[in-house]
Structure 1
Amino acid sequence: MRLVQLTVPTGKRETILATLDDRGIDYVVTDEDSKREYTAVVYFPLPSPAVEAVLDELQEAGIDEDAYTVVVDAETVVSRKFEALREEYENGDVESDRISRQELQAEAESLTPTFAVYSIMTIISAVVATAGLLLDSPAVVVGSMVIAPLIGPALGASVGTVIDDEELFLESALYQIVGIVLSIAAAAVFAWTVRITNVVPPGLEIAQVDEISERLAPDLLSLVIALGAGVAGIISIATGTSVALVGVMIAAALIPPAAAAGIAIAWGQPSAAIGSTALVLVNVLSVNLAGLVTLWYAGYRPENLFSVGPTEERVRRRVVGLALIVAVFALFLGAITYSSFVTSTFEENARGEVERTLDEDEFVQYQLLEFEVVMDDDYPFRGPERVLITIGGPGEDPDPALARTLHERINQHAADTVGVEVRFVGLVER
């Protein structure tokens, strides 16, 4: 429910009040004696779905943007006429649940802070995310998402497109570009600083840190996060519900991958930053794509009817363009996913070969103690480089035939030759 406060321009009082009467809207009028160009202020409650239609009709009656129109939340309205008005507009579909176009535009603009604040908060969130990744601490990484101011620009571009506000679109697009650059640069500078000052262990291998490695070689499922964040973000802002948690979800799709890319650059491994940078870009584009489609489906259109056709064409072009770019990135992520699948299959088959070999009568005296597949550094399409096998058995040295057999059988499952290193631990029977 909304309470609308409207200043009535000189000469428009009767027309505006007649419009409200025709729609069965209760209102209160107070005379304006400030000797300005307004003669009165009218107050009236509306169901949320009625705001856009009523304000559009009042604008046609002579209310322009120079007049003051304030729309605020109303907790309770007790009125039979209001209940009838609610039944007229609230029919349970998507369009009846959404806020007005005017409120949507104001909400999108309010979610984007000033450029200075946005830049500072983005840098801080990237630095905190970098620290969390280096510490391998999911809690710290989540904390970085909470302070990231990304939801406004991420949703503002979609809102600006569907309501034909190119200024909002361009500003939001610029903010998103700046946000990506700042977050990666801030992460790289901070990671380089802690590295050269030995705040982290000198021999730290970033590929061995789970929170980092999973973002250096992202898979196709990562795309679902961004699409879900885009749809959820638009639904939350369009229905007037809280956007705080959705903002965290959007930040989850952008800040940690950007921090991982910065860490890879700081560690002198630019190839390792390819996957995480691609993930950041595809997530940004996916959020915008999901937002555009959701807003248009929800029924948002430009205020000027003559702009609906050009705007629809613009939305169609941007949706198609974004979808094509996302599809290209999706193929890239799909290739990474397939590479990970091949590697996992190899690891499973290699372990199976070792276990079957040790079950044979010739090598039954040995037992498998440890098994590890060491990956190469060819990011983002990493593959097995060597297999480390630790076995235990009687004596001081294993049967030489065991190492040859394991090497041959394991490499049957590898596209390229993989080194097989067998380590032996002598076991003493008691």
Structure 2
Amino acid sequence: MLHLRLIVPADRTDEVVRIVESTVGTAHLAVLPGAARDPAGDLVLCDVAREAGDGLIAELRATGLDRDGSIAVDQIGLSISRRADQAEAEAPGEGADAVLWESLTDATHEESTLSVTYVAFLAVATMLAACGVMLDNAILIVGAMAVGPEFGPLAGISTALVRRAPRLVWRSLVALLVGFAAAMVVTAGFGWLMDQLGLFSKELLEGPRPNTSFVWKPDWMSFVVAFLAGIAGTLSLTSAKSGALIGVAISVTTVPAAANAAMAFSYAEYAQTWGSTWQLLANLGGIVLAGTLTLLAQKVLWARQRGRRPA
């Protein structure tokens, strides 16, 4: 169940209440006249089944409530109510299959912001991966993959393509490209420092490295794994099962490939640099393609499940 907290201009409260009452899957409607102060208006509270949430939010936005008032949505962890159970049973479809597009857009917008924290996480992950590829340590590679925040912008691109939001596409691309460029430059500097300290050497990079050489030897399996990870990651976002993102993070070699490219370039090992770059591009492309197709499939299937055409 979702909990909606609405600030409604007093002259539109009746209209909003009618929309809530006419939506199948709602419960626990409460109206507090004059309770809101900024902006001024009435406070309307209600619960709605997740599978009916996207439609209700869309209708409320159509009234201009997002412009003149407020629409806040919270996930209800536990609701002990026979009326809530009845509302979920009446709502069409299954809550696990429903996509809250407004929530997805907001989440990916936040995750695809080029911020100091985002770049810091990506740089730290890439430096960890550099340690992993130089020492041929698979544990460090896995740790670096889990730390990397790059799935946010990738999901942002997929969401923006499906929702036809070019500004979000550009925002996500900037975060992705600038973030990786900055992380690789920092990693190259980190590699130089480690070389000066005698902890890294060209011999380590040119060694056999049986545990980590895959990061600069792209093949079709790299794309297949990235594609499957993209599907899993997108489903985890739309179904609010964020724990699955950890599995996605440690299955795709984006960060290790970027780290190996940076280290190989710093030692003038251009064959490894190009191999790592292609590995990186294949993984990024596979995730975006899978995410976009997954969202399109969810949109079509959910529209059919509810008996209407997709918007």
1:64 shift after superposition: 3.0
Within-5 A mapping of 1:222-371: 222-243=222-243, 244-246=245-247, 248-249=249-250, 252-299=252-299
Within-5 A mapping of 1:13-412: 13-23=13-23, 25-26=26-27, 27-33=29-35, 38-92=40-94, 97-112=97-112, 114-200=114-200, 203-204=203-204, 206-243=206-243, 244-246=245-247, 248-249=249-250, 252-299=252-299
Using CA pairs below 8 Å that are at least 6 residues apart, which structure has the higher relative contact order? Answer: 2
Paired position in structure 1 for 2:307: none
CA distance in 2, matches of 1:204, 1:218: 20
Change (3 A) 1:266 1:30: same
Contact 2:155/2:234 (CA < 8 Å) preserved in 1?
yes
Residue 241 of structure 1 aligns with an amino acid whose one-letter code is K
CA distance in 1, matches of 2:213, 2:80: 58
Matched positions, count: 301
- Provide Cα deviations, 1:356-393, integer angstroms capped at 9, x if missing partner: xxxxxxxxxxxxxxxxxxxxxxxxxxxxxxxxxxxxxx
Contact 2:113/2:171 (CA < 8 Å) preserved in 1?
no
Gaps of 5+ in 2: 302-309
> What is the DSSP-based 3-state SS (H/G/I as helix, E as strand, rest coil) of the residue aligned with 1:204?
helix
Contact 1:212/1:260 (CA < 8 Å) preserved in 2?
no
CA distance in 2, matches of 1:66, 1:185: 46
Change (3 A) 1:227 1:65: farther
Contact 2:133/2:260 (CA < 8 Å) preserved in 1?
yes
CA distance in 2, matches of 1:206, 1:117: 33
- Provide Cα deviations, 1:273-313, integer angstroms capped at 9, x if missing partner: 11111010111111111111111111189xxxxxxxxx99x
CA distance in 2, matches of 1:122, 1:247: 16
Q: Identity of aligned pairs, percent?
A: 22
Contact 1:141/1:256 (CA < 8 Å) preserved in 2?
yes
Contact 2:260/2:272 (CA < 8 Å) preserved in 1?
no
Residue 43 of structure 1 aligns with an amino acid whose one-letter code is L
Residue 111 of structure 2 aligns with an amino acid whose one-letter code is L
- Provide Cα deviations, 1:216-235, integer angstroms capped at 9, x if missing partner: 22322111221112111110
- Provide Cα deviations, 1:126-170, integer angstroms capped at 9, x if missing partner: 111101111111111111122211121110111122223322221
1:32 shift after superposition: 2.5
1:67 shift after superposition: 2.0
Residue range with higher mean Cα deviation, 122-131 or 20-29: 20-29
Contact 2:31/2:45 (CA < 8 Å) preserved in 1?
yes
> What is the DSSP-based 3-state SS (H/G/I as helix, E as strand, rest coil) of the residue aligned with 2:299?
coil
CA distance in 2, matches of 1:69, 1:156: 22
Gaps of 5+ in 1: 302-310, 313-430
Contact 1:99/1:240 (CA < 8 Å) preserved in 2?
no
CA distance in 2, matches of 1:264, 1:211: 17
Contact 1:4/1:46 (CA < 8 Å) preserved in 2?
yes
Change (3 A) 1:247 1:110: farther
> What is the DSSP-based 3-state SS (H/G/I as helix, E as strand, rest coil) of the residue aligned with 1:51?
helix
Change (3 A) 1:113 1:211: farther
1:8 shift after superposition: 1.1
Change (3 A) 1:222 1:63: same
Paired position in structure 2 for 1:397: none
> What is the DSSP-based 3-state SS (H/G/I as helix, E as strand, rest coil) of the residue aligned with 1:221?
helix
**Cα RMSD for the two superposed structures:** 2.6
Change (3 A) 1:172 1:246: farther
1:188 shift after superposition: 2.8
Change (3 A) 1:17 1:296: same
Contact 1:101/1:300 (CA < 8 Å) preserved in 2?
no
Contact 2:13/2:42 (CA < 8 Å) preserved in 1?
yes
Q: Tell me the TM-score normalised to structure 2 length.
A: 0.87
Contact 2:261/2:276 (CA < 8 Å) preserved in 1?
yes
Residue 161 of structure 2 aligns with an amino acid whose one-letter code is T
1:205 shift after superposition: 5.1
CA distance in 2, matches of 1:266, 1:158: 33
Residue range with higher mean Cα deviation, 34-43 or 267-276: 34-43
- Provide Cα deviations, 1:77-132, integer angstroms capped at 9, x if missing partner: 3444433332233534xx86233111111221233455211112211111111011
Which has the larger helix fraction? 2
Q: Tell which structure's C-alpha radius of gyration is larger.
A: 1
